C-alpha cells in the first residue's frame, strides 16, 4: 500500500500498547508493595499492635515498643488487652480482671476511647 502525502503514519500495533500498559501496571504494583512493606516495618513494633503474650519495653514518653521476650530490654509482658476504654478507665479499673498486671499502657487521643495493655513484669 502506498502512502499519500499528508497521511498519518500507521498507529502502533495494539501489542506494543498492551506491553506498555503491563509495564506501567507492574511498576505501580511494585511501588505500592514497597510502600506497604515500609509502612509495616515502621509500625510492627508499635505498642498498639501488642497482643497478649507479647513483651514490651518503655520507649519514650507514655509509649511502649514490642520486643522479643528474651531481650534484656523486655521488662514487661502483656497479660491483658482491653479495647474501648478512656484514659480514666485505664488508670482505675480496666485491668482489674488481670491480677498480675502492675502497669497499664493506654493508647488513643484524650477525650476518646482507646486500647489498654495490662502489663506485668516479664519474669523468665
Domain-wise residue ranges, the chain:
47-121
Condensed to tens digits (0 to 9), the pLDDT of residues 74-89 reads 889 999 988 888 888 7
pLDDT for the residue numbered 42: 53
> Bigger pLDDT: 21 or 77?
77
Inform me whether the pLDDT recorded for 1 exceeds 60.
no
pLDDT exceeds cutoff 60 at 26: yes
Is there a contact between 94 and 107 (Cβ–Cβ < 8 Å)?
no
Q: What is the pLDDT of residue 99?
A: 92
Amino acid at each position: 500500500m502506498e502512502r499519500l502525502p499528508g497521511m498519518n503514519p500507521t498507529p502502533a500495533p495494539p501489542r506494543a500498547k498492551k506491553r506498555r500498559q503491563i509495564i506501567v501496571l507492574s511498576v505501580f504494583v511494585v511501588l505500592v508493595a514497597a510502600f506497604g512493606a515500609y509502612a509495616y516495618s515502621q509500625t510492627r513494633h508499635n505498642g498498639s499492635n501488642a497482643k497478649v503474650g507479647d513483651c514490651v519495653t518503655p520507649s519514650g514518653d507514655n509509649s511502649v515498643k514490642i520486643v522479643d521476650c528474651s531481650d534484656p530490654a523486655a521488662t514487661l509482658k502483656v497479660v491483658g488487652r482491653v479495647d474501648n476504654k478512656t484514659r480514666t478507665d485505664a488508670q482505675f479499673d480496666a485491668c482489674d480482671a488481670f491480677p498480675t498486671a502492675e502497669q497499664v499502657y493506654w493508647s488513643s487521643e484524650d477525650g476518646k476511647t482507646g486500647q489498654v495493655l495490662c502489663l506485668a513484669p516479664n519474669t523468665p
